[in-house]
């Protein structure tokens, strides 16, 4: 009923007793269902007032799409915003040097960002890019589309990405950044972005709030 729009965002749900009567189930069953909906981000509770419907989740398309984060949120009627937490040049460790086919200790750009929807934190991102291909990366410009910036400033066009999506739980650091409780369900997305010559230009990890995001996978046959 929430998904169909019969219960509008921020509208109050019927009481537990009313749900018991409507569906012919026990109060324990109703309470368990409401708790599960709260964990999944569909409802929230106000102390002493009742249970209310959460705002609609942000839908992210994982497969072939011309729309970036800003476009996708704008098309869903939400106000996107990106904040750069830090942009540092670090020495590559064994893992990063192997990824980017560079020497251990070679410089790498380390970019931390948070993306917002209607001023609520939605994603925490940490990206690594080889410095020799992206020197002089500008933090302010990284608050826009990173891939468009790579193309316009460095003439680096992303050819394809490989992405790995997993479930995770928010630790203390992520909980603070995304303004959720420790242990809250999240999605973890690892991305490998490649240029047309097959070289890796970006390795990133994005943590999505589980209560604010869902994903659509499109396949064409």
Query: Quick check: 57 and 212 in contact, CB under 8 A?
Result: yes
* Helical pair 27-39 and 16-23, crossing angle rounded to 10 deg: 110
Given this model, what pLDDT does residue 64 score? 56
DSSP string, 107-154: EEEEEEEEEEETTEEEEEEEEEEETTTSTT--TTGGGS-HHHHHHHHH
Question: What pLDDT tens digit does each residue of the chain (221 aa) get?
Answer: 887 788 888 899 999 999 999 999 999 999 889 888 887 778 888 888 889 988 766 666 666 555 566 676 677 677 888 999 999 999 999 999 999 999 999 999 999 999 998 889 999 999 999 999 999 999 999 998 899 999 999 999 999 888 888 889 999 999 999 999 999 999 999 999 999 999 999 999 999 999 888 887 777 78
Dihedral of CA 211/179/161/165: which sign?
negative
Q: Which residues pair with 45 in a beta bridge?
A: 51
What the block records as the tokens of 198 is 């097959």
Nearest to 133 by CA among 206, 204, 202: 202
Query: Quick check: 43 and 74 in contact, CB under 8 A?
Result: no
Nearest to 13 by CA among 49, 39, 41, 48: 49
């Amino acid at each position: 009923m929430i998904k169909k729009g019969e219960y509008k965002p921020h509208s109050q749900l019927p009481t537990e007793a009313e749900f018991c009567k409507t569906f012919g189930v026990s109060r324990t069953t109703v309470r368990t269902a409401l708790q599960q909906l709260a964990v999944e981000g569909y409802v929230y509770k106000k102390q002493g007032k009742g249970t209310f419907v959460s705002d609609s989740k942000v839908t992210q398309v994982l497969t072939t799409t011309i729309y970036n984060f800003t476009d996708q949120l704008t098309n869903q009627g939400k106000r996107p915003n990106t904040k750069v937490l830090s942009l540092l040049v670090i020495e590559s460790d064994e893992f990063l040097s192997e990824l980017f086919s560079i020497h251990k200790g070679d410089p790498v750009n380390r970019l931390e960002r948070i993306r917002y929807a209607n001023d609520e934190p939605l994603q925490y991102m940490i990206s690594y890019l080889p410095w020799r291909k992206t020197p002089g990366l500008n933090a302010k410009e990284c608050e826009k589309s990173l891939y468009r910036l790579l193309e316009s400033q460095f003439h680096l066009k992303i050819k394809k990405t490989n992405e790995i999506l997993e479930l995770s739980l928010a630790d203390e650091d992520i909980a603070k950044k995304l303004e959720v409780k420790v242990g809250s369900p999240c999605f973890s997305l690892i991305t490998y972005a490649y240029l047309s010559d097959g070289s890796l230009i970006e390795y990133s990890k994005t943590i999505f709030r589980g209560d604010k995001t869902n994903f659509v996978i499109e396949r064409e046959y």
